[in-house]
Structure 1
Amino acid sequence: MDVSPKTLIDQQPITRLQYTTVLICFLMNMLDGMDVMVISYAAPAIAKSWKSSPEALGIVFSSGLFGMTFGALLLAPFADTLGRKTMILISAAIMGVSIYLTAESTSVLHLIGFRFVSGLGIGSMLASTAALAAEYTPDKTKDFWVSFAIGGYPVGAVLSGLVAARVIPESGWQTMFQLAGMATLVALPVIQFFLTESLEFYLKSQPADALVKANVILDRMRMNTLSVLPPKPTRRQGIPLTAVLDGEYKTPTIQLWIALFLAFATLYFLTSWIPKLASNAGLSIELAIYAGTVFNVGAFFGIVTQGYFSSRIGLKKTIGIFLIMTGVLMAIFGLFMGSSLLLVLFGLLGFGIQGGFVGLYAVAARLYPTEFRTTGVGWSIGIGRLGGIIGPAVGGVLIGMGLSMVTNFLIYAVPTIFAGIMTLYISSKKIR
């Protein structure tokens, strides 16, 4: 009998354990979306209260992205040795404590520090949940399920936006951070008692008691248990980055990094600055928050739609179309200024940029093997987040210079289109 977990999972119907695993990954990414976006929703109120400049807020946004970068690069790879579940627990604890304490900030410097620490957890959470979802889903529908799991991100952003629109005007921005922190901490027992460690991790990394733990999972999935562990794969020599950039992985990895860098730059410019730009355009704080919320509603539907079509016509073609069309919409944004269709356009931008962006996570999860999958996904996200750091910071400078929303959108249309083109040319036989 072929005991490969990949073969077992590919050939049999999805079980309750697998659905539960993907659902918890979805929930964890909901918390990720909430914790990332809460600073954007609070930004107009903080700016008004502290009389902060756009440049200062740009640094706050980017500090969180610096944290996410280090979380993806330095923390996420530990999931390949400690396990996906352990890393998800650690990530949630970091997020919950730091987000809650952000409410105690009394200066921009405090915000920068807390956003950096929370970013560490957010960055490692995204990489770990993407890897776990990929390892528990059949090959033919893997792209959909990975995209679905990451799709929790905009759902969390939407729900927190709806709450923020009520809480911030009535109770202050500090209360919003307290609520977000408590919601994340409450998830810790859910992870501990209901999330299952990766079967592939037990069989290939083979930590202590791996056979017993793997057989418990196989039994719960109604599969034949094992009498012995399969031969342990030979570890690649060198640091994890060497493995990611080795042989057949080198060229597609560099192509993926470029696409993610460019897509991240645009995505985080949009998610960070849409509420503030809308506020500058004359909308009330409540309506400015709703503009960001509409963006994230579109994002969820874009992610699910992208996952559906990626499973049928291929990841590269689907993602490329999503990103290029988003760039075109951004380039013609000025045609919609003052129109009742403006909020619809925000939704379409979220649909396209998030759908394409999350599809790149699925590319990373499919590209790398179990032995260093979280490392590969983490480094891809980490390199991409460098673009995410630059995007909001440059946006802050451009807005501080007095450039309009239309001009900013036109500028950021360029990297979006190039990200779509680069995705179309990713050279790997594992990805179509």
Structure 2
Amino acid sequence: MQSTIKDLIDKSAMSKLQYATIFVCFLMNILDGMDVLVISYCAPAIAKSWQVGPEALGIVFSSGLAGMTIGALFLAPFADHMGRKKMILLSALLMGASIMLTAYTTSVPQLILLRFLSGIGIGSMLASTAALTAEFTPNRTKDFWVSFVISGYPVGAVLSGMVAASVVPASGWQTMFQWAGLASFITIPLILFFLSESIDFYLNKQPKLALEKANGILGKMGLPQLHKLPENTSKAAGIPVKRLLDNDFKLSTIQLWVALFLAFGCLYFLTSWIPKLAETTGLSMSLAIYAGTVFNVGAFFGIIVQGYFSSKFGLKKTISIFLILTAVLMVVFKWFIGSDWLLFLFALLGFTLQGGFVGLYAVAARMYPTEFRTTGLGWAIGMGRLGGVIGPAVGGVLIGMGFLMASTFMIFAVPVFFAGVVTFYIASKDIS
């Protein structure tokens, strides 16, 4: 029965309900990007206002990243039990409340706690929106739509920077957090009224009134109604986290985790050090301020292009090429030092690296079945973020030891190269 529904979705034109679901998920990831980066844009003003040093701010940044890891690993999997829509709503409430309350903090410990809580919401939001998008889109364009939804993240990062540039100097950093929190709360009615629960979830978990609710969604999509629910086998499925390492998924799961760990490590090295890189490698002052922006603009277009080519030529091949091209760009970095062309290189790095590693989310969305798809996505993201913790720290150690930026870039080209190789050999039969 489920295969019949999937076949109908694959063969039918996209409905307004499916586009509405994609739009809301895209919007939620824009908020994700805004909420992650808002602390970075407000950090100088907070440091000046509270007279705190970089060490304290470093803990604040790390607490947000730790929260995102916890959210992806331990909160997101509950979406496989309670539903994707409910988890997206819970994540939005958690993000909105913690971001809004941040505006009223008066100490670093309060700031650390609230950044940790907002990180939990951000981590679970990303996995839940990717899973829901995968379950509402046709097989032929699934990779594109999952990548498109996640491309909201760099869009939010850019928008957050543009808003902060005018709001923080004029009204203070507290106002920026108030606006960011309000933006999250405004989306809650959109989730309630325009976001639909996954049909796959209703058919697998079979909560109360599952048949009526599934038929309601099918009717809005112009698809035939169901007369009964399929046999409920979810209780025999085992604990979802353990299922990730079952014989059918063990090798491909480990390969996916390794690829994301390596790619995230390189990504967070770059995002953490781009401002410093722009300052120390000869980029003119007038252009240095745009380094982070062009990196995220490049990321948006890279994610969209990757999604398109993945739908045409296959996920593994496309992602591998993107990640290996990133390694090549990092090797040739030294020839751009001292030139304003460095800004163009940052844009290319955003294009290839973020385009590539976001494609790995689409791999996870395809690789795992509905019963534990959000768990699979959450744990993949969580394992990747562990690399995100290590990458900037290793970069700092290397730079502190006296390594030149060019040498450091060449060192980080190695893990992202291997991320591309590992991706190409992911063993799952469900990934082209």
1:11-410 to 2 correspondences below 5 Å: 11-47=11-47, 53-278=53-278, 289-397=289-397, 405-410=405-410
Number of aligned residues: 432
Q: Any idea what SS the aligned residue of 2:350 has?
A: helix
Shift of 1:193: 1.1
Shift of 1:398: 5.0
Distance 1:380 1:404 in 2: 32
Distance 2:382 2:148 in 1: 21
Give CA-to-partner distance per residue, 1:88-143, whole Å, 9 cap, x none.
00001111111222233444433322221111000000000000000000111110
Give 5+ residue unaligned stretches, structure 2. none
Shift of 1:283: 7.8
Distance 2:108 2:72 in 1: 24
Instruction: Evaluate the alpha carbon distance shift between residue 48 and residue 175 of structure 1 in structure 2; reply closer, same or farther with a 3 A threshold.
Output: same
Do 1:203 and 1:210's aligned partners in 2 also have CA atoms closer than 8 Å?
yes
Distance 1:93 1:292 in 2: 28
Distance 2:94 2:239 in 1: 26
Do 1:45 and 1:285's aligned partners in 2 also have CA atoms closer than 8 Å?
no
Distance 1:410 1:96 in 2: 40
Distance 2:118 2:286 in 1: 25
Do 1:33 and 1:154's aligned partners in 2 also have CA atoms closer than 8 Å?
yes
Distance 1:404 1:56 in 2: 27
> Which one is further off, 253-262 or 322-331?
322-331
Shift of 1:384: 1.1
Q: Aligned partner of 1:224: which letter?
A: P
Shift of 1:344: 1.1
Give CA-to-partner distance per residue, 1:317-362, whole Å, 9 cap, x none.
1111111111221222222122121211111111011101110000
Distance 1:287 1:50 in 2: 29
Q: Any idea what SS the aligned residue of 1:139 has?
A: coil
Do 1:64 and 1:117's aligned partners in 2 also have CA atoms closer than 8 Å?
yes
Identity of aligned residues (%): 68
Instruction: Evaluate the alpha carbon distance shift between residue 320 and residue 2 of structure 1 in structure 2; reply closer, same or farther with a 3 A threshold.
Output: closer
Do 1:54 and 1:396's aligned partners in 2 also have CA atoms closer than 8 Å?
no
Do 2:325 and 2:352's aligned partners in 1 also have CA atoms closer than 8 Å?
yes
Distance 1:424 1:234 in 2: 32
Q: Aligned partner of 2:247: which letter?
A: G
Do 1:17 and 1:220's aligned partners in 2 also have CA atoms closer than 8 Å?
yes
Distance 1:229 1:362 in 2: 28
So what's the TM-score if we normalise by structure 2? Answer: 0.93
Do 1:165 and 1:289's aligned partners in 2 also have CA atoms closer than 8 Å?
no
Distance 2:339 2:9 in 1: 50
Q: Aligned partner of 2:368: which letter?
A: Y
Shift of 1:279: 5.1
Instruction: Evaluate the alpha carbon distance shift between residue 48 and residue 350 of structure 1 in structure 2; reply closer, same or farther with a 3 A threshold.
Output: farther
Alignment RMSD (CA, Å): 2.3
Do 1:61 and 1:272's aligned partners in 2 also have CA atoms closer than 8 Å?
no
Give 5+ residue unaligned stretches, structure 1. none
